[in-house]
Chain A
Amino acid sequence: MGTAKKIHNIEIISYYTGYIILIVASLMILPILTSLIFREWEPLLDFIIGGMISVITGLLLIMAGFRTKMDSSDFQWKHGFVIAALSWIVLTFLCAIPYRLSGHTKSLLDACFDVMSGFTTTGLALTQDLDHLSKGLNMWRHLLTFIGGQGMIVLALTFLTKGIGGAYKMYVGEGKDIELVPNIKDTARQIWKISMVYLLVGTLALWITGICIGLNPVSAFLHGLFIFEAAWSTGGFAPNSQNIMYYHSVVYETVSMVIFILGSFNFGLHYAIWQGKRSEIVKNIETQSFFITSFLACILALAGLSRMKVYPDAIAGFRRIIFNVLSAHTTTGFGTIYARQFALDWGDFGVLIMIIVMLIGGSACSTAGGFKGLRVGVVFKGLLMDIKKLLSSERSMKVYKYHYMKDRVLEDGMIKSSAIIICCYIITFTLGTLIGTFYGYSLTDSAFEAASVSGNVGLSIGVTTTSMPSVMKIYYIIAMYLGRLEFLSVFALFGYLFGGVKKTCVKLFRH
């Protein structure tokens, strides 16, 4: 009986993981078309090979778990979490194939690093010679970060022809929990609808701006599309090595900034505004938290850096500081200064501000990373609630509330779960800092980079290079993965694997 159930577990996981792989792999058609249009034959072959290997893997997994197609009634929470975590790992390897074949990465580890960085919307890159990258590979890099922002499971659910019992469990497993409409399949479709409308508007705005700043129309379109994908998904990739500095334009920076701020907001908030509930922007605990923390961070950074006379005038200071602080806070990772300038010019105070905002991050159920404004707001309100309770009479029974799409009662369970996730992020950040200092990087540099990977930001102070020790690369991959899936799915996957290994060992001993 136990064996039959175990096989069934594996079948469910195999079937849905294969399904997700197949959907994501089918997107390789876009870089294939790009390579065809721009006559890039070598990348074309890379994507055909990568695409076919992914299709084969996906189909084999689906066929292995084919019985699930007939009956998915046994779908449990653990399946949802394990599928979410496992499909991300398998897809990281599969999507790294075109990177590796392109010759722009020095090892498979570097290729996997970049794919995980894209999927998790981090934006750190180990890909070499970005300025000579094919348009096909650039399309793939930015597409990965765009898909990663909405979620690969969200994408797979969008293509479901009929509802399945485990859809919501997989959706939650990917770090999202908001239901825009009662049906989870329709929620996934709404998320994509919101993203696609912004994609059209944002790309058009960047395209026109690109032409106005001197890019040729075709190039302006591709830059616009790539920068939109990276900004909306708070990813931070760019088609050239100078990132946003390539454009030398305040207008281009401003349009990108508006897009990444919008991208860092909860999909629920976008949906509410589309439904005409504009007051949600003001009442929502996440937007309140974001505006307060970003305002304070900008003011402090402006004050600190003007005291050190980093920039020649107020306009220069505003342009550089506001953009980079907001890029860090929304966990985007676009930079308008060189990586090393954070360490050399901004000083410890500026770097500390950046570390704090990178860890706080954007909104829950958005494309952003970090603790999330919701959790920061809930823990802060919980602290205020406890202080008020201490000061008030024991007889008073006041109910404390917060607004998140609707008025909700602030319960101890919610505060506790938020605090646990924040603690997990802090542990990941601390371990990253520890490993960095172990390998001889300064405390400031190690902490900055660890905050960047833990919060899925992508800004670098110069630590992330191909010469970085492999242990650090592996840890950064794990930190990005944990941060994006918000720990629980990954813990479930390891728990499941550990449980399976333990059972096998026990059986072997008994025999």
Chain B
Amino acid sequence: MRKIIQALIGLILITVISPIHVKAVDVVSINDLIENSKELDGQVITIQGEAIGESMNRGEYSWININDGTNAIGVWVKSDTADQIQYYGNYHEVGDTIEVTGTFYRACAAHGGEADFHADTFNIIKNGHLVSEHIDRHKIVLAIISSVFAFLLILVYQRQRKLSEISQENF
């Protein structure tokens, strides 16, 4: 009997607790936010994307911009939270991928009617990294060949100019 009760309690715990952990968070793409902005205005939503550019500190809060590949949006986040981001996407770096849950505003009254996102919770789900530049050998060869050819052509042009100046003087 004791074992049955233990098994039942275990079963109840699994059914009650596990959905909280297992259930995937409904992530909305930024393009979908914009396309359905009237319906989603003021709602608590989760978005994911790469932090790009740099954070812009405005005191207690900061602006960070995130791009999920469909579009980019500004996220209004506490400055100490923004400081957790190590990499911001640019030519040399892939930015940290972050997941933000917060309120989406189609035309935020606090920020002059901008379509923005006010973060409540904020997680870095993938760390960014430096990008190692791959230099194409063909480009090096092409750069050398075109430079040599251009240099030779400049010499030919200079000679043509000198000859024409001499012929003009003789004339």
Contacts and interface: CB of A to CB of B under 8 A. Distances in A.
Interface in A390-410: none
A135 B156 CA distance: 35
A258 interface: no
A395 to B, nearest CB: 58
B116 to A, nearest CB: 8
B107 A320 contact: yes
A62 B153 CA distance: 11
B111 interface: yes
Summarize A's interface: helix, strand, loop or mixed.
helix
Contact of A131 (B52, B73, B106, B133): B52
A219 B54 contact: yes
Nearest to B106: A345
A320 B154 contact: no
B133 A42 contact: yes
B14 interface: no
A313 B109 contact: yes
Given A70-B164, A214-B56, A313-B109, A344 B35 contact: yes
Contact of B139 (A45, A55, A317, A320): A45
A245 B66 CA distance: 12
B107 A131 contact: no
Interface stretch (A117-125, A333-341, A489-497, A501-509): A333-341
B160 A63 contact: yes
B38 A344 contact: yes
Interface in B132-171: 133-136, 139-140, 142-143, 146-147, 149-150, 153-154, 156-157, 160, 164, 168
A427 interface: no
A42 B131 CA distance: 12
A341 B135 contact: no
Given A49-B142, A215-B54, A216-B54, A132 B136 contact: no
Contacts of A245: 74, 114-115
B74 A248 contact: yes
Contacts of B34: 338, 340-341, 344
A344 B74 CA distance: 20
Contacts of B160: 63, 66
B81 interface: no
Contacts of A63: 156-157, 160
Interface string B97-135: 000000000111101111110000000000000000111
Contacts of B84: none
Contacts of B139: 42, 45-46, 49, 101
Interface stretch (B3-11, B21-29, B57-65): B57-65
A55 B133 contact: no
Interface in A227-244: 240-242
A464 B112 CA distance: 27
A66 B161 CA distance: 9
A344 B31 CA distance: 13
B112 A340 contact: no
A475 interface: no
B55 A214 contact: yes
Interface residues of A, number: 55
Contacts, number: 146
B62 A48 contact: no
Interface in A198-240: 213-216, 219, 240
Given A56-B150, A310-B107, A240 B58 contact: no
A38 to B, nearest CB: 8
B113 A246 contact: no
Contacts of B52: 131, 240
Interface in B49-90: 50, 52-58, 62-63, 65, 67, 71-74, 89-90
A280 to B, nearest CB: 34
Given A245-B74, A316-B109, A341-B115, A131 B150 contact: no
A320 B65 contact: no
Contacts of A336: 114
B56 A215 contact: yes
A328 B89 CA distance: 30
A214 B58 contact: yes
A154 B108 CA distance: 44
A45 B168 CA distance: 41
B107 A312 contact: yes
A40 interface: yes
B155 to A, nearest CB: 10
Contacts of B140: 45
A56 B135 contact: no
Nearest to A240: B53
A101 B139 CA distance: 9
Contacts of A312: 107-109, 113
B133 A246 contact: no
A132 B112 contact: no
B136 to A, nearest CB: 7
B50 to A, nearest CB: 8
A320 B113 CA distance: 7
A94 B125 CA distance: 43
Contacts of A320: 107, 112-114
A248 B53 contact: no
A53 interface: yes
Contacts of B37: 341, 344-345
Contact of B56 (A48, A56, A248): A248
A41 interface: yes
B23 to A, nearest CB: 30
24 contacts: A40-B133, A41-B135, A42-B135, A52-B143, A52-B150, A56-B153, A60-B153, A63-B156, A63-B157, A101-B139, A131-B67, A133-B91, A134-B91, A214-B54, A219-B54, A241-B72, A312-B108, A312-B113, A316-B108, A338-B71, A338-B115, A340-B35, A344-B37, A345-B107
Given A45-B139, A55-B150, A341-B34, 6 more contacts: A38-B91, A40-B133, A131-B52, A242-B73, A316-B112, A316-B113
Nearest 9 Cβ contacts at the A-B interface? A316-B113, A214-B56, A52-B146, A312-B109, A319-B112, A131-B52, A45-B139, A134-B91, A214-B57
